[in-house]
Chain A
Amino acid sequence: MTEALALIGIGLVTGMLASSLGIGGGVVFVPFLVVAIGLDQAVAQGTSLAVIAPTAAIGTYIHVRYGRVDWSAAVPVAAGGVLGAVLGAGLALAADPLVLRRLFAALLLVLAYRLVTRQLRSEPELRGPTGR
């Protein structure tokens, strides 16, 4: 019960982050599932993808209605993506759990670095009179 509420709560916060920052939720879901819920790295990643697919489908539906999707780009990227995803998932499932976990931690550090440098560059304009 507590676990269910914690999952709904983290989903709520991540959904807000994803929607307002334009990020996927996986980088939040995976560490949370490993550290707080105690899932294996591979199971946490599979579970994260199971949440991302329907969430992205809902977002896509809205974007398609506004005509924002460039299909001539989407089709080849998705075709390559399926091939890559099958490769990547196969690697993740075959990898040593500890190695996979360390690689994931390294990915988080790269993303944090990118986010911080972007923030430092864009912050002055965000402090304008209309900024909150």
Chain B
Amino acid sequence: MAATVRIFTLGVVAGVVSGLFGVGGGVVVVPGLVLWMGLDQRSAAATSLATITVTAAAAVVLFGRADSVDWPAAGYLLIGSAVGAWFAARHLDRVPRNWLSWLFAALLIGAAARLMIA
């Protein structure tokens, strides 16, 4: 029972992050499931993804009702991201993961700087 309350709370925190920032919330859920529920990294990622489907859908309903979704832009992004995710999953061994991580960190810092000054 205590464990259920604890991970329900984890869900609430992840949901607030997801709705407030427009992200999945996996950054909160994955470590939470590993530390609190003792799941291994792979099933934590899978379980996190299942919860993201539900929470993102709930948040989209609110943003949609407030007319705060650009549906054509979402459609184009989805075309690209579906193909990209499928490609990387199939050729995971050939993706330079280490190099990608550094590129991604640089991208985050650059984007943060651009958002701060604008």
Contact = CB atoms under 8 A, between A and B. Distances in A.
Q: Do A and B come from one complex?
A: yes
Per DSSP, chain A at the interface is helix
Residue from A20, A109, A119 whose CB has the most chain B CB atoms within 10 Å: A20
Report, as a range, how many residues of chain B touch the other chain. 35 or more
A85 B115 contact: no
Contacts of A63: 45-46, 49-50
B98 A126 contact: yes
Given A11-B79, A48-B22, A63-B46, A109 B73 contact: no
Interface in B54-76: 54-60, 62-64, 66, 68-71, 73-74, 76
Nearest to A44: B22
Interface string B30-41: 101100010100
A24 B26 CA distance: 7
A70 B32 CA distance: 13
